Amino acid sequence: MPGATGRKRRTFGNTWWGKAWVEALEERAKLDPNRLPRGRTYARKGTVSKLAVGAGEVTAWVQGSRAVPYRVTIHMRAFTEPQWESLLGMVGSRLGHVAALLDGELPGELAEDARATGADLLPGPGDLRPKCSCPDSANPCKHVAAVYYLVADEVDADPFVLFLLRGRPREAVLAELRSRRAPASEQGKRVRAPAAPGVDPKRAYTRRIASLPPRPAVPSTVGPPAVLDVDPPHRTGWSGEMFVELAADAAARAWELLVMGPEREAELSFEEDLARRAAASDPHVLVELAEAAGVAVRDLALWAQAWREAGRGGMAVVREAWRPTQAPLAQAKADLAESGLPGEPKTWRNRITQGDLQLRYGRDERWYRFVRDGEGWRVDGPSSARPMDVIYPP
């Protein structure tokens, strides 16, 4: 809660792995719950200085009631060789885990999988062994508890701190993961794969060109996209669900091109593809698309509605006003005059308006029917080459 000065209270753990450290301290490490609140207060007051994290150890100075700061040293139980073997073997077998670590991220699934292998990266009962030069015999004292909370800042900045506290620095962990994925000789050194045999250039140019193999049959339906085993790194702003949605959309478009041919649809512009996706999405997804693309929600809603009714041509006449030749406009005005609709037709560029009905002529030489929608206009049905067909749609 903000205080009287309006400043937000200092929190600990701003990434999920920093929060996981704090939650482990408060819930799993079996620390005295009555001592931790005083440690949080000390940490917020800025009494901790010269905090350093090494292999299996944290050191810091904490200013207490006396003039000379207290010396705090915290040892964390290091993993045994079998535990490291289990942990690194598990991580190395999952490409998503390795990719996230190389990007400086720690997936939640990795932490859960690590705990399942018996190599929990987060502190559990008996893992933390602190010492403080203060006279307080409690475990933890408020000085140690303050350092516990500030370790969350270190974990926020670099999740490899969790590996370091278990005994191995970032470089050693990454080197081991790379070596596990690289081909190696019996001596443990990387070797190059043997080169493929070459082809004499003269023979290559005189070879008869083989006929293309028959094209595989087009599948009857669109298959489901593959699902990522872990989410992308948190700082990208992407989620696994977003990639699944994009993959499903791309697969559907590819299937349509296979079934209907490449002439069905030319390459779409960014705005057209955005309208196409919004037209097939739920309203809340439309809002997310508009925000991500930097487009007004109302504009995207109009584009999506036009796309549903009349495709890219409908969206084009929503966005553009242009000056066609007079011949098509004269024909449309004549058709409107014979329609019996009230009022006189008014022409502006490629638009002819009569009462609550408006016809728009597209660069594709087709007519689009619009009806009044509040203070604006919306597309009302598919296009036609003849104005009378959109005045009185079949």
Looking at 135, 154, 178, the residue that finishes a domain is 178
Residue 371 lies in a domain: yes
pLDDT at 185 over 90: no
Beta-bridge partner residues of 190? 184
> If 0-12 CB within 10 Å is exposed, 13-18 middle and 19+ buried, where does residue 343 land?
exposed
pLDDT at 82 over 90: yes
Provide the mean pLDDT of the chain.
85
Task: Please say whether the beta carbons of 16 and 234 come within 8 A.
Answer: yes
Mean pLDDT along residues 144-163: 92
Q: Measured between alpha carbons, how far is 44 from 22 in angstroms, rounded to an integer?
A: 15
Mean pLDDT along residues 284-293: 88
Phi first, then psi: give them for residue 363, nearest 5 degrees.
-65, -15
pLDDT bin (cut points 50, 70, 90) of residue 202 is confident
Where does the chain show beta strands of DSSP type E?
48-54, 57-62, 70-76, 128-132, 346-348, 351-354, 357-361, 367-373, 376-379
Residue 71 lies in a domain: yes
Q: What is the pLDDT of residue 268?
A: 84
Q: Measured between alpha carbons, how far is 47 from 96 in angstroms, rounded to an integer?
A: 40
Domain housing 174? 16-178
Q: What is the pLDDT of residue 2?
A: 46
Q: Encode pLDDT of 302-334 as tens digits.
A: 999 999 999 999 999 999 999 999 999 999 998
Mean pLDDT along residues 247-266: 75
Q: Residue 101, Cβ neighbours under 10 Å: how many? A: 21
Q: What is the pLDDT of residue 8?
A: 63
Mean pLDDT along residues 12-38: 86
Q: How do 128-132 and 70-76 pair as beta strands? A: antiparallel
Q: Which of 42-46, 63-67, 145-149, 289-293 has the highest mean pLDDT?
A: 145-149
Least confident of 52-56, 189-193, 198-202, 290-294: 189-193
More confident residue, 385 or 11: 385
Q: What is the pLDDT of residue 235?
A: 66
Looking at 113, 143, 178, the residue that finishes a domain is 178
Residue 234 lies in a domain: no
Query: Which residues lie closer than 8 Å to 293 by C-beta, 6 or more apart?
Result: 270, 274, 300
End-to-end CA distance of the chain: 63
Beta-bridge partner residues of 367? 361, 384
Task: Please say whether the beta carbons of 54 and 81 come within 8 A.
Answer: no
Residue 299 lies in a domain: no
Q: What is the pLDDT of residue 33?
A: 81
Select from 217, 168, 140, 147 the least CA-distant residue to 56. 168
Mean pLDDT along residues 271-288: 89
Q: Measured between alpha carbons, how far is 322 from 297 in angstroms, rounded to an integer?
A: 25
Task: Please say whether the beta carbons of 75 and 91 come within 8 A.
Answer: no
Mark out the alpha helices in 199-282 (DSSP H runs): 201-206, 240-260, 270-279
pLDDT at 260 over 80: no
Q: Encode pLDDT of 49-71 as tens digits.
A: 999 999 999 999 999 888 899 99
Domain count, the chain: 2
Looking at 145, 178, 211, the residue that finishes a domain is 178
Residue 296 lies in a domain: no
pLDDT bin (cut points 50, 70, 90) of residue 83 is very high
Q: Measured between alpha carbons, how far is 73 from 182 in angstroms, rounded to an integer?
A: 39
Q: What is the pLDDT of residue 4?
A: 45
Residue 223 lies in a domain: no
Q: What is the pLDDT of residue 190?
A: 47
Q: Encode pLDDT of 84-108 as tens digits.
A: 999 998 988 887 788 888 777 787 8
Q: What is the pLDDT of residue 265?
A: 56
pLDDT bin (cut points 50, 70, 90) of residue 191 is very low
Residue 334 lies in a domain: yes
Q: What is the pLDDT of residue 182?
A: 58
Residue 377 lies in a domain: yes
Least confident of 8-22, 28-42, 225-239, 373-387: 225-239
Q: What is the pLDDT of residue 50?
A: 93
Task: Please say whether the beta carbons of 138 and 32 come within 8 A.
Answer: yes
Crossing angle of helices 270-279 and 297-319, in 10° steps, is: 120
Select from 83, 61, 81 the least CA-distant residue to 72. 61
Sheet order of strands, 48-54 included: 48-54, 57-62, 70-76, 128-132
Task: Please say whether the beta carbons of 18 and 11 come within 8 A.
Answer: no
